[in-house]
A = this chain, B = another copy of it.
Amino acid sequence: MAVIVQKYGGTSVGTAERIGAVADRIAATVQDGTRCVIVVSAMGHSTDRLVNLANEIAPVRSQREMDVLLATGEQVSIALVAMALLARGVHAQSLTGWQAGINTEAVHGAARIESIDQRRIEQLLDNGIIPVIAGFQGIHGTDVTTLGRGGSDTTAVAVAASIHAQSCEIYTDVDGVYTADPRIVAKASKLSAISYEEMLELATLGSQVLHPRAVETAKQHGVQLVVRSSFSEAEGTVIKEMGSMEGMRMVTGVAVEKEVARIAVLGIQISKHHLSAMFQALAQEQVNVDVIVQSVVKTGEVDVSFTVAEADATHAIRMCESLQSVLGYREILQELGLSKVSIVGAGMITNPGVAAQMFAAIEAAGAEIKMVSTSEIKVSCVIPSRFLSEVVNQVHQTFALDALE
């Protein structure tokens, strides 16, 4: 009999009432004999509460002790979900990260899973007991570790891979992956299926349904993912390998990232390492740089433009200024109030002219294109935010995304 892994996020287990609803759903799933493994996150804002406590106590924090602290969040959830299942007459048993055999590398705060000793999970399944596993946490030696951002999704996928589960269902507060943000595009349609690659591009582009790390792990191990809402019975979106047999869609969706700043460093003296010097310095300061464009203006000089989140703009400019002696630039400009609009589609590779169609759509919406960046399955354009709604709707219409499913 097939096994399904179900992962419930912090919102899904945010209150006693919601935990009850989750237990009802699991009880319904196993009624026909389907075997389930459950992975849960910490309740709603409990992690924030713990982080605040730690901040009050120690300004500089020990990562080892932070992991011990934060791991309690999921431990509370697994106990409560297991209790809710037992109260419904469903056999269940909670497992912390170390009890579930989730072995990670020796890193605190952002450990990667190295292996899963799945024997205890399988033993429970063989005895008709549902394992309720704490996401986000593992063990190295006898030390508690946590997996960092996207950790619970990754736990679910890794567990699914280790027991060769039929699929891994990620329950969240949206009912699937859409061709665009329904708050911007009224006609946005829910996709029934999408490839790992497309999902990765959409995930990194800000459709924050699923963490890229989890998608990567799923792709690597061929785990079929399903994104579903824990608040409805809607079908959700399947993320899987999609061969050409299925006819790859040219464009699958439009993603948006708001509050983008463009920083232009003009008249940089060309050297062997002017780019690496600049972006290594920014990386060391944890400034996340997105689109990068370099253009040669005249011999021996270049202009470099890049985008960062608006919140990071001032910090990024100060970093560049501190490199004046290395870069020998003439001036730095910044532009705020921008957004990045991207189209993603695995079929793009074999369809020339997709980028041109997108540019035309943006121009038709009356917006100036500030920057362009492309990959094999993605085209991104930076535009003024005040045109965002018109642009996204125009692009959505151009590629007939409302007809997708």
Contacts and interface: CB of A to CB of B under 8 A. Distances in A.
Interface of A: 16-17, 19-20, 50, 53-54, 56-62, 64-66, 68-69, 71-72, 75-76, 78-80, 82-84, 86-87, 93-94, 96, 99, 120, 142, 144
A104 to B, nearest CB: 16
Contacts of A68: 75, 78-79, 82, 94, 96
B76 A75 contact: no
Contacts of A69: 75-76, 79-80, 83
B71 A57 contact: no
Given A19-B57, A59-B87, A68-B75, 14 more contacts: A20-B57, A53-B76, A58-B83, A64-B94, A65-B79, A65-B82, A66-B79, A68-B78, A68-B82, A68-B94, A68-B96, A69-B80, A72-B76, A99-B142
Given A83-B62, A83-B65, A96-B68, A16 B78 contact: no
Nearest to A54: B83
B96 A80 contact: no
Contacts of A87: 57-60
A78 to B, nearest CB: 7
Nearest to A74: B72
Contacts of A86: 58, 62, 65
A71 to B, nearest CB: 7
A378 to B, nearest CB: 41
A65 B129 CA distance: 14
A149 to B, nearest CB: 20
Contacts of A79: 54, 65-66, 68-69, 72
Contacts of A19: 57
A313 B72 CA distance: 40
Given A68-B94, A75-B75, A80 B99 contact: no
Contacts of A71: 75
A389 B104 CA distance: 62
19 contacts: A16-B57, A17-B56, A19-B57, A54-B80, A57-B84, A58-B83, A58-B84, A58-B87, A59-B87, A60-B87, A65-B80, A65-B86, A68-B78, A69-B76, A72-B72, A72-B76, A72-B79, A99-B142, A120-B142
Contact of A53 (B50, B80, B93, B144): B80
Contacts of A59: 87
Contact of A62 (B61, B75, B82): B82
A50 B65 contact: no
Contact of A16 (B56, B65, B96): B56
A69 B20 CA distance: 16
Contacts of A17: 56
A142 B20 CA distance: 27
A94 B57 CA distance: 15
A80 to B, nearest CB: 5
A66 B50 CA distance: 21
